[in-house]
Structure 1
Amino acid sequence: MSNSENSQSSASVAPTAIVHPNVKLGKNVVIEDFCIIGYPPKGYQPGELETVIGDDTHIRSNTIIYAGAALGSHCHVSHYVFIRENTNLGDHCSVGVNVVIEHHCQIGNNVRLQAQAGLCEYTVLEDDVWLGPRVITTNVPHPTCDKAKECLNGPVIRRGAILGAAVTVSPNLEIGERVLVGAGSVITKSTEDGAILFGVPAKKIGEVEGVKCQYELMPQSPYKTDGAAPTDAPARRVPFADLGAQYQRHKQEFRLAMDRVILNNRFINGQEVAEFEQSFASYCKTAYAIGVGSGTDALELALMGLGIGQGDEVITTPHTFIATAEAIALSGATPVFADIDPLTYQIDPAALESKITAKTKAIIPVHLYGHPAPMPEILAIAKKHGLRVIEDVAQAHGATINGQTVGGIGDVGCFSFYPGKNLGAYGDAGAVTTNDSELAARIAKLRDHGRSTKYLHQIIGRNSRLDTLQAALLNVKLKHLPKWTASRQAAAAHYQEKLAGLPLTLPAVAEGCEPVYHLYVVRCQDRDGLSAFLKANGIDSGVHYPTPLHLQPALAYLGYSAGDFPRTEEAAANILSLPMFPEITRDQIDYVAATIQRFFQA
């Protein structure tokens, strides 16, 4: 029986095979006797989920492939194989007899699964992975727990890994690239790239680099190390940031978090929002955190919550992203700028105090690049003049000054979770932190149409809720943030070591401060020349920010001119941001540093 869509009309389907509706069969597909393709999973009707079988794929007898699965081209699936829904196989994969692949597995290209292998839900196999007979992956440490299905988290097996017969892989771990695991081993913890492992539990016994093959390896083999690069090999590249690397390491956690939201239909104000708010307040050492739609919204809502608006002035730095001044302007208040400290790029307290007038109501220090602003001095000025302090913490999640975490020092903290931030969502998101219960309650109302119950609106508000999907992702990421911060700090230290002695101004750290290095910013007199040289050598860089706020066309009405803030303008002319992200390697930093050295030697 066949109700498939086969636009190529070249598939060969045995008469005893069952092909359900909404199955896309590619060219030259062969489906042998007694196969069932597109079988509907529980809760779905036949044809409700699309099933895809790629060109030139051969499926042997008695195999069952559930609806929602997708197989690439040139795959070979042996007899009695069982493949569940929402599983994807790449091109040129081989699946042996009696293999079981559970739902939500992601399998790359050129993967080999030998007989009787079993992949649990949420297993990830990257390209060129080879699993021997009876290899088993697992995804939950306590299968009898009543919450077991909410904790499923299979392993990630990186490109080129080889696992011998009857290897067992524990949940929620990562097997590095080109790892070789001996038969019968039990993997209980994540492994580094290129290791040879054996035993119960498996332990490292060698390095793959020391193992040679007497025969010629296939051209695309991940083990090919003869030193000859293919002629079409791309030039070496170091990205400015690499969100993909973070996703690859934690994608099963991210997917599971999103799946929980979707399956429970709690997209607006779901429990994940409250969970994140509580966890983030604890992280920031504040009493309250209110999730909002973006970092810009956080600033606007903070100003609204404090009653700042028409006729008021708010002092901030001209050396930041426009959102800071934009929020002030949108509140009806007037942005007033004060110049920066040329060493740390933070607002200069002395310059700030000179800008205070009778109309001044608040100060917005920006913890730029992940370095804390001089909060003790700013708080003293604010207290002296009766001003509110709104911290812009968009780039400084977790930074500290004198042991205090930024975002919990002033009256209110405003965070962005833009994807590229140290703690980033997969879209716009933000939060407001405070220790003031009345202010927290007011901002919570303002972000949700001014209401206290569903149809009772006590004040005029807006729609700026933190999306539940983003909150779910941020809950996962927040657990990793301390480690990511430590990685950024280690990367910055390595930069400092490797760039020492070059004609650059390296980042300075003020006394008592622990920055989190959202950006690693140097100064170079030939900034544009260095940037172009880095780009020619495959290294991305950036300028944060090339045009100070007082010279932005959108803020021309404030009446500022070139020369009003000389330290800001000088910085804008020669600052350069080098690649910085938690996954950056020492080797990548070495390459960046060596390239910069070559620039100055040219």
Structure 2
Amino acid sequence: MIHPTALVSPKARLGSDVSIGPFTIVHDDVEIGDGSRIDGHCEIGYPTPLAQGRPLVIGAGAVIRSHSVFYAGSRFGTGLVTGHRVTVRELTEAGQGFQIGTLADIQGHCRVGHHVRTQSSVTIGQQSVIGDFVWLFPGVLLTNDPNPPSNELLGVTLEDYVVVAVKATLLPGVTIGRGSFIAAHALVGQDMPEDSLVSGAPAKRMCKASDLRVKGDMRQRAYPWRHRFVRGYPEHVVQGWAQGTDRFEFDA
């Protein structure tokens, strides 16, 4: 259903059972998958020459909440979900199940894996590369300019299963190894190996993330987190985790 106040270009390609809320604008070169919901006061496919002529493609089952802006030239897999007032710039490539928190700023020219979850006020700088099953908690900042202001951009790389806690800042060009945990308010300026617990400003590797125990229960390991938290993930992923699998193939 398209609200009568919405402005939807006749050139936009909408799947079946797509709803568009009041005062939302959908531009020309936009493809929205079946069963998606775009709330009111959004702008979808905002034109920019930086999109290099590419369309905005939003996979099936998306939920984009009010006052969000998506630029032309990005591509999202199925199951995209946003909070309110999200901004996503051009040339963002994201997999299935991407969750974007309220007031998030994704500055484009970046790659995001499958089932990545970001919470409120997260900033993802250009040239960022984010693996599968990554968590970014409120206020996380992925930077990219080593000599601000400059024309050189060095994005942050987060490998699969990384967790970045509240208001941590990762400096340009840093790579965080698989399954690591970045503590709240950490300022990370150097690469960290797989399974690292990283804390401090400047941050250091304190121990293995897998050495951490759940608060109040010293018998249970907190990490890898997938051994204790599975809410909202696809059934085949949950079953794989239960059977000891931690790598999956997803459709493009």
In which range does the TM-score fall when normalised by the shorter chain?
0.7 to 0.9
Match of 2:104 in 1: 99
Tell me if the contact between 2:51 and 2:73 (Cα under 8 Å) persists in the aligned partners: no
Residues 35-54 of structure 1 aligned to structure 2 (within 5 Å):
35-42=42-49, 48-54=53-59
- Distance, in Å, in 2 between the alignment partners of 1:62 and 1:5 is 21
Residue 93 and residue 233 in structure 1: after superposition, are their counterparts in 2 closer, same or farther (change >3 A)? closer
Tell me if the contact between 1:133 and 1:166 (Cα under 8 Å) persists in the aligned partners: yes
Tell me if the contact between 2:51 and 2:90 (Cα under 8 Å) persists in the aligned partners: no
Q: 2:70 aligns with which of 57, 65, 68?
A: 65
1:71 CA displacement:
1.5
1:130 CA displacement:
0.3
- Distance, in Å, in 1 between the alignment partners of 2:20 and 2:42 is 9
Match of 1:202 in 2: 203
- Distance, in Å, in 2 between the alignment partners of 1:233 and 1:91 is 12
Q: Which has the larger radius of gyration?
A: 1
Residues 451-600 of structure 1 aligned to structure 2 (within 5 Å):
none
Match of 2:24 in 1: 17
Aligned residue type for 1:102: Q
- Distance, in Å, in 2 between the alignment partners of 1:69 and 1:13 is 19
Say yes or no: does 1:26 pair with 2:41. Answer: no
Which structure dedicates a bigger proportion of its chain to strand? 2
- Distance, in Å, in 2 between the alignment partners of 1:193 and 1:199 is 18
Q: Deviations over 1:481-527 (max 9, x none)?
A: xxxxxxxxxxxxxxxxxxxxxxxxxxxxxxxxxxxxxxxxxxxxxxx
Say yes or no: does 1:187 pair with 2:171. Answer: no
Normalising to structure 2: TM-score of the pair?
Answer: 0.82
Say yes or no: does 1:5 pair with 2:13. Answer: yes
Residues 438-453 of structure 1 aligned to structure 2 (within 5 Å):
none
Q: Deviations over 1:276-335 (max 9, x none)?
A: xxxxxxxxxxxxxxxxxxxxxxxxxxxxxxxxxxxxxxxxxxxxxxxxxxxxxxxxxxxx
- Distance, in Å, in 2 between the alignment partners of 1:125 and 1:44 is 20
Normalising to structure 1: TM-score of the pair?
Answer: 0.35
Q: Deviations over 1:233-291 (max 9, x none)?
A: 99xxxxxxxxxxxxxxxxxxxxxxxxxxxxxxxxxxxxxxxxxxxxxxxxxxxxxxxxx
- Distance, in Å, in 1 between the alignment partners of 2:188 and 2:228 is 30
- Distance, in Å, in 1 between the alignment partners of 2:244 and 2:147 is 46
Match of 1:76 in 2: 81
Residues 346-357 of structure 1 aligned to structure 2 (within 5 Å):
none
Match of 1:141 in 2: 146
Tell me if the contact between 2:157 and 2:173 (Cα under 8 Å) persists in the aligned partners: yes
Match of 1:500 in 2: none
Residues 257-276 of structure 1 aligned to structure 2 (within 5 Å):
none
Local SS of the residue matching 1:38? strand
Tell me if the contact between 1:40 and 1:49 (Cα under 8 Å) persists in the aligned partners: no
1:229 CA displacement:
3.4
Local SS of the residue matching 1:209? helix
1:216 CA displacement:
3.9
- Distance, in Å, in 1 between the alignment partners of 2:94 and 2:50 is 23
Which structure dedicates a bigger proportion of its chain to helix? 1
- Distance, in Å, in 1 between the alignment partners of 2:104 and 2:42 is 14
Q: 1:118 aligns with which of 108, 120, 123?
A: 123
Q: Deviations over 1:534-571 (max 9, x none)?
A: xxxxxxxxxxxxxxxxxxxxxxxxxxxxxxxxxxxxxx
Residues 22-421 of structure 1 aligned to structure 2 (within 5 Å):
22-42=29-49, 48-144=53-149, 148-149=150-151, 151-211=152-212, 212-213=221-222, 216-218=228-230, 220=237, 228-229=243-244
Q: Which runs of 5+ in 1 are unaligned?
A: 235-602
Local SS of the residue matching 2:45? strand
1:43 CA displacement:
6.3
Aligned residue type for 1:13: I
Match of 1:457 in 2: none
Local SS of the residue matching 2:210? helix
Aligned residue type for 1:180: F
The alignment's C-alpha RMSD in Å is 2.4
1:65 CA displacement:
0.2
Residue 22 and residue 177 in structure 1: after superposition, are their counterparts in 2 closer, same or farther (change >3 A)? same
Tell me if the contact between 1:61 and 1:80 (Cα under 8 Å) persists in the aligned partners: yes
Aligned residue type for 2:90: E
1:206 CA displacement:
1.7
Residue 141 and residue 229 in structure 1: after superposition, are their counterparts in 2 closer, same or farther (change >3 A)? closer
Aligned residue type for 2:45: G
1:162 CA displacement:
0.2
Match of 2:215 in 1: none
Match of 1:403 in 2: none
Aligned length: 223
Local SS of the residue matching 1:37? strand
Tell me if the contact between 1:53 and 1:72 (Cα under 8 Å) persists in the aligned partners: yes
Tell me if the contact between 1:23 and 1:50 (Cα under 8 Å) persists in the aligned partners: yes
Identity of aligned residues (%): 27
Q: Which runs of 5+ in 2 are unaligned?
A: 1-6, 213-220, 231-235
- Distance, in Å, in 2 between the alignment partners of 1:102 and 1:205 is 31
